[in-house]
Amino acid sequence: MSQTLEAVLNANAAYAADFDKGDLPMPPGRHFAILTCMDARLDPAKYAGLAEGDAHVIRNAGGRASDDAIRSLVISYKLLGTREWFVIHHTDCGMETFTDEIMRGLLASSLKTASVDASGWHDSGEGSGSTEGNYVDWLTIKDNAQSVLEDVQRIRRHPLVPGEIPIYGYIYDVRTGKLIEVPEATRVGMALV
Ligand SMILES: [Zn+2]
């Protein structure tokens, strides 16, 4: 068994040993959802004060409002009753370190993990790659505040999102743990009714 697998299963056994949350209802008790980045340094339960059953947390690379993130948000309100949403990107996001063109080039070169240094991303070129990456929009980020604004705007204008849900735009600072508002995004995300 891999060390990682063993560690995860041991941690789960300890968690389950005194587990007492088995009767929670499915709908989030605090009626809100967070869309945020998968970055390992972000712990939404801690930075937003969540316990099991409190809120939906939807995560992807960048915390971007992709079609799939919107699918989850729509299910979140339509079937599970959330009434307020947060879009939370963060400082030092990996999505700021590359472009579609770079990612496509790296994948075309090989499927091995790339390395990065001051001059950018490099691929070992070991083994074969794939041009399938050319068909993916990697939703990279040039500017944090701008990406939060764009995503809040996209969700706000989406035909399946009702006007009464306010959408708040924030950037999590990985150095301080603080949530910094992107006022323009929150303004764009204001409830319409
Ligand atoms: Zn990130």
- CATH (domain of 163): 3.40.1050.10
Shortest CA distance to 188 belongs to which of 162, 166, 159, 164? 166
Looking at residue 26, its pLDDT comes to 98
Looking at residue 125, its pLDDT comes to 86
Count Cα atoms within 13 angstroms, Cβ side, for 27: 10
Cα(181) to centroid(ligand 1), Å? 17
Counting Cβ atoms within 10 Å, is residue 106 exposed (0-12), middle (13-18) or buried (19+)? buried
Looking at the fold, whether 94 and 107 belong to one and the same domain comes out as no
> What mean pLDDT is reported for the chain?
97
Q: Is residue 46 part of a domain?
A: yes
36 vs 126, residue with greater confidence: 36
Number of domains in the chain: 2
Cα(99) to centroid(ligand 1), Å? 14
Domain of residue 121, residue span: 102-137
The answer, yes or no, to whether residue 167 has pLDDT greater than 80, is yes
Task: Quickly count: other Cβ atoms within 10 Å of residue 25's Cβ.
Answer: 8
pLDDT tens digits, one per residue of 57-90: 999 999 999 999 999 999 999 999 999 999 999 9
Average pLDDT over residues 129-133: 97
Looking at the fold, whether 158 and 121 belong to one and the same domain comes out as no
Q: CA–CA distance from 139 to each of 65, 101, 113, 114, 146 (Å)? A: 9, 12, 19, 19, 13
Q: Is residue 108 part of a domain?
A: yes
pLDDT confidence bin for 138, thresholds 50/70/90: very high
Cα(88) to centroid(ligand 1), Å? 10
Looking at the fold, whether 122 and 164 belong to one and the same domain comes out as no
Cα(126) to centroid(ligand 1), Å? 27
Q: Is residue 3 part of a domain?
A: no
Looking at residue 123, its pLDDT comes to 94
Looking at the fold, whether 44 and 126 belong to one and the same domain comes out as no
Looking at the fold, whether 50 and 125 belong to one and the same domain comes out as no
Looking at residue 29, its pLDDT comes to 98
- Containing 109, the helix (H) or strand (E) segment is helix 100-109
Cα(97) to centroid(ligand 1), Å? 10
Cα(21) to centroid(ligand 1), Å? 30
Looking at the fold, whether 152 and 177 belong to one and the same domain comes out as yes
The answer, yes or no, to whether residue 36 has pLDDT greater than 80, is yes
Looking at residue 193, its pLDDT comes to 75
Looking at the fold, whether 128 and 153 belong to one and the same domain comes out as no
| Three-state secondary-structure class, residue 30 | coil
DSSP label of 26: S
Looking at the fold, whether 89 and 163 belong to one and the same domain comes out as yes
Looking at the fold, whether 75 and 107 belong to one and the same domain comes out as no
Looking at the fold, whether 47 and 72 belong to one and the same domain comes out as yes
